[in-house]
Amino acid sequence: MPYFKTFLCFDVEQFADATEELELSRAIGVNHPITWRIRTNAPTRYIVNPAYGVTVRLVKNRFHPSHKLILQAMRTPPKCDERTAWKHENAKNAACVQTIRLGLSTMLMNIDYTENVSSDVSVTFAPHCYQLYCGCLEREELSSSQSVDSLQSVMAQSSTIGIDRIRELENLLAMLNADKQQIQKNAAQGMTLKKVLHKALDARRSTLIALKGRLIEMKKQTRRWKEELLESEAELENFQRSRKEYFVQQCSVS
C-alpha cells in the first residue's frame, strides 16, 4: 500500500490542551472492512479520540520534536476483528499495511498578533510544519499589470521566426503554466493558513470566555472569604472583650 505523510501543527500557547483533527475516509472502490490504529512513542502525551472523527490531543501542551505519531490501516483479515487483526501475520507485511507518518510541530508565532500582521510579513511555523507566506497572492495581483507589460515587451523584441519562434513561444507558455501552478499552490496554502489561524483565534476566544468565567467565580469566592473573615474577626473581638471583662471581674472580687 502507498506511503503518505501529513502534518499536525499544535497551538501550544492556548489555555486548554491543543487538539488537531484528522479526516479519515475510504479510498474509492474499497468496500471490505478496514482496521486502523495510531502508534506513538509518547503514549502519555497524546490522546486519540475516534468518537467524532479522529481528534489528537496534546496533553498539557508538552511537545517534544522527537515525538512520533504513525497511522496504520489494513484490510481486516478473515475471522479477525479490530482487536485481533494486528496479531495477524498480515500486520507484519509492509505490502498489506498502509502507513501514514504524521509530522508534528507547534506554532511559534503569537496568534493574538496575527490580526494586525501586514501583508508583507511572512508567517513561518516550526521546521516540520508548513511555511506559508501572507501577502504573496496580493503582491502577485498588484504586479500582474507590470508582468503583462513585460511579457508584451519581450514578445515584441523577439526577432526569431519559424520553428525557433514556435519553440520560443512554447517555452514561454511552459513558464507561464509553471507560474500559474505556483500561484494556485500559494492560494491553496493561503487558504490552509487561514483555516489554521481561524481555528487558533477561536481557541483564543474560548479561552477568554473560560478565563472571564473563572475570574467571576474567583471574585465571588473572594467576596465570600472576605465576609467570612469579617465575621471571624468580629467573633474574635467579642471573645477577647468578654475574656477581658471576665478577668477584670475576677480581679475585683479578689
C-alpha radius of gyration, the chain, whole number: 33
CA–CA separation, 14 and 205 (whole Å): 10
The vertex-60 CA angle with 7 and 104, nearest 5°, equals 15
Instruction: Say if pTM beats, i.e. exceeds, 0.95.
Output: no
Averaged over 215-221, what is the pLDDT? 94
How many helices and strands (H and E) does the chain possess?
Answer: 3, 9
Alpha helices of 36-134 — where are they, by DSSP H? Answer: none
**59, 12 contact by CB (below 8 A):** no
**What stretches of the chain adopt beta strand conformation (E)?**
3-10, 18-22, 34-40, 46-49, 54-58, 69-75, 97-106, 122-124, 131-133
Averaged over 94-99, what is the pLDDT? 89
Measuring CA to CA, which residue among 32, 35, 9 is closest to residue 22?
Answer: 9
Q: Return the pLDDT at 127.
A: 31
Mean pLDDT, rounded, of the chain: 76
Cell of 102: 504524521
CA–CA separation, 57 and 19 (whole Å): 4
Q: Is the pLDDT of residue 4 over 90?
A: no
Cell of 83: 482487536
CA–CA separation, 104 and 62 (whole Å): 12
Q: Return the pLDDT at 119.
A: 41
Measuring CA to CA, which residue among 71, 75, 104 is closest to residue 88?
Answer: 75
CA distances from 162 to 12, 100, 153, 166, 169 (A): 61, 51, 20, 6, 11
The secondary structure of residue 76, as a DSSP letter, is P
Helix 144-157 to helix 162-253 angle, to the nearest 10 degrees?
160
pLDDT tens profile 22-61 = 877 777 888 888 888 889 999 888 888 875 568 888 898 8
The vertex-181 CA angle with 180 and 183, nearest 5°, equals 65
